[in-house]
Structure 1
């Protein structure tokens, strides 16, 4: 985010979406959540769409910060994936729940879909870069498998019946998936 205030507004919007759903997201509600003077959110995000896009941009920024760690081989990549997933279902749970809310809303609102897809492409490009570095023959094809596995694990942990997986369990699963994707490397 360009400013600490925008980040604060984005964080507050994410928190409201996760806690109350999209119906609970209002400019005034974000002002209260962020402990900002009335009208602050409206100054930065004039419309509801702009506020939703700001929340998505903040989520992508936070995810990028979590994924910035360079990896040095399949085991290291598995540990990085496990760390990201574990964070997504524990300390980063709020962001993951908000992302699910926004994903569903994006299926109904094409103007939001564009912003949501931009964020998703960024994550997938990062995954393709890592898979390429690890020697994947078809990294773009395997990105869908990797992202789908991660999404399924997170959804099952937060909204399904799977419960919270341990970091060790996640690392073992990621190792197994990477071994398959990388052809046994």
Structure 2
């Protein structure tokens, strides 16, 4: 029950940040968005910093649940991940951009933001290593840059008026993987 409530608060914080930016994030706004009684959010996250950290942890948890490390076709996994990020996960990505910008100004947030990002990077390194990458650390950086760029363009860039579908994303992922010398299907 407590885990469900904490997840609900994290989800609501993400939605508030995506809709209203960092300035709109308050304990009361999260209570309202989560449909919880007043004071619920502050019970689990006493300070704004604790609330921000809870939201970051929830984003990482959701990101990790979106990736299937046992998948046979890496390009399809990547395409599904990006497509989900620009459709059903749109709010999470918009909140992530807000966090990224805020982390450049607040060192205490930078540590939590970077920690979450490293967890995703390590998952990507492991996925590429299993696929036969000769340099999974370097290849993960290239691949994550493609992912980040594709998502940003589809949500906030000039590509937002005509975002790619899964097929186009899979083609792009295959091109990047081929360029790195990694077969897309395991």
Q: TM-score range by the shorter chain?
A: over 0.9
Task: Tell me: CA distance 1:93–1:184, structure 2 relative to 1, closer, same or farther (3 Å).
Answer: closer
Between the aligned partners of 1:108 and 1:32, the Cα distance in structure 2 is 28
**Count of residues paired in the alignment:** 182
Is the Cα–Cα contact under 8 Å of residues 14 and 94 in structure 1 kept in the other structure?
Answer: yes
Structure 2 residue aligned with 1:85, among 82, 87, 92? 82
Cα contact 1:89–1:158 (8 A) shared by 2: yes
Structure 2 unaligned blocks of 5 or more: none
Q: Which residue pairs with 1:25 in the alignment?
A: 25
Extract structure 1 runs of 4+ deviating beyond 3 A.
none
Instruction: Select which of 90, 94, 98 maps to 2:91.
Output: 94
Summarize deviations over 1:129-154 as a string: whole Å, max 9, x none: 01101111111011110000100000
Against the structure 1 CA distance between its residues 2 and 70, is the aligned structure 2 distance closer, same or farther, given a 3 Å change threshold? farther
Unmatched runs of 5 consecutive residues or more in structure 1: none
Q: Are 1:71 and 1:130, in contact at CA under 8 Å, matched by a contact in 2?
A: no
Q: 2:153 aligns with which of 152, 156, 163?
A: 156
> Paired residue for 1:8?
8
Structure 1 residue 58 displacement after superposition: 0.4
Alignment TM-score, normalising by the size of structure 2: 0.94
Distance 2:94 2:135 in 1: 31
Distance 1:82 1:110 in 2: 33
Q: How much does 1:80 deviate?
A: 0.3
Preserved CA contact (<8 Å) 1:56 1:116: yes
**Paired residues of 2:69 and 2:127 also in contact (CA < 8 A):** no
**Shift of residue 2 of structure 1?**
6.1
CA contact (8 A) 2:68 2:77 kept: no
Superposed CA offset, 1:71-96 (max 9, x none): 22xxx100000000000000100000
> What is the TM-score when the length of structure 1 is the normalising length?
0.95
Q: CA RMSD in A?
A: 1.4
